[in-house]
Structure 1
């Protein structure tokens, strides 16, 4: 299997045209770059770089691998970016349970506002009455419930729920 960090090294050698310049750009030693290129050549079974007194040049096999490396590395960068957005709360899915009127009066306007403020957040809405929606939160079927107070609801001192009054 080809290691992604070795593809970074191949790309740097192609961009900088010498092992020494590639090493400097990657904050590595020239020896480390040469070792990684040798390992990449062993992994692929092809000579990838021609070295001469004038620098380093990719072989035809190196050019083929570089074209794929650019696509692979771009996809890895997108994956890292999406994971970072998810980890910071800028992307992901939130599931909301609400009763029909609450969906129209509270959830729909909130989704519109959220689309502008946090375009990476996707919202799923489930139609559920208050007693059902709170249990869905407790059972982790949904993340948020829009509900009205009802007899038998968990009390305000129930630490499993955080209440935010929407209307006084």
Structure 2
């Protein structure tokens, strides 16, 4: 298997054209760069670098490997960035259970704002009535529930949940004149 760290060394030699300059760019000794190149040549079974009086240049096999190295290293860099975003809480998936009206009135505007401010967060919405969604949070089937208060719901003192009031609906009494 080809070691990605050695691909970085190959790329540095191609970019800097000398083992010494590549070593400086990678904060390694020239001897360490030479050892990494020798190990990479052993792994691939091909001579990858020719050293001369004017520095180092890649062989045809080195050029082929460098093309793939650039793709592999770019993908690894994207993976590292995604993991860093995930670790910082700005990437990932949040699953939300909500009742139909809550999806339209509360969740849709919140998702629109989240898409604008944290594009790395994906929201998965699951339609569920309030009496079903709170147990889904407790069972870790979803991350968040948008629910209405219902009889038998865990109380405000239940330490397994954090409640955030979103809005309250006004009630009107309609009576005949007089």
Same fold (TM over 0.5): yes
Provide the residue aligned with 2:60 in structure 1.
Answer: 60
Provide the residue aligned with 2:176 in structure 1.
Answer: none
CA distance in 1, matches of 2:10, 2:71: 13
Deviation, structure 1 residue 86: 1.2
Provide the residue aligned with 1:82 in structure 2.
Answer: 82
Q: Deviation digits for residues 127-156 of structure 1, max 9, x if unmatched?
A: 111110000000101000011111110011
Provide the residue aligned with 2:10 in structure 1.
Answer: 10
**Which has more radius of gyration?**
2
Q: Which ranges in structure 2 are unaligned for 5 or more consecutive residues?
A: 169-178
- The alignment's TM-score, normalised by the length of structure 1, stands at 0.98
CA distance in 2, matches of 1:52, 1:101: 73
CA distance in 1, matches of 2:49, 2:90: 41
Provide the residue aligned with 1:36 in structure 2.
Answer: 36
> For the aligned residues, what is the CA RMSD?
0.8
Number of equivalences = 168
Deviation, structure 1 residue 87: 1.3
1:126 is paired with a residue whose SS is strand
Deviation, structure 1 residue 88: 1.0
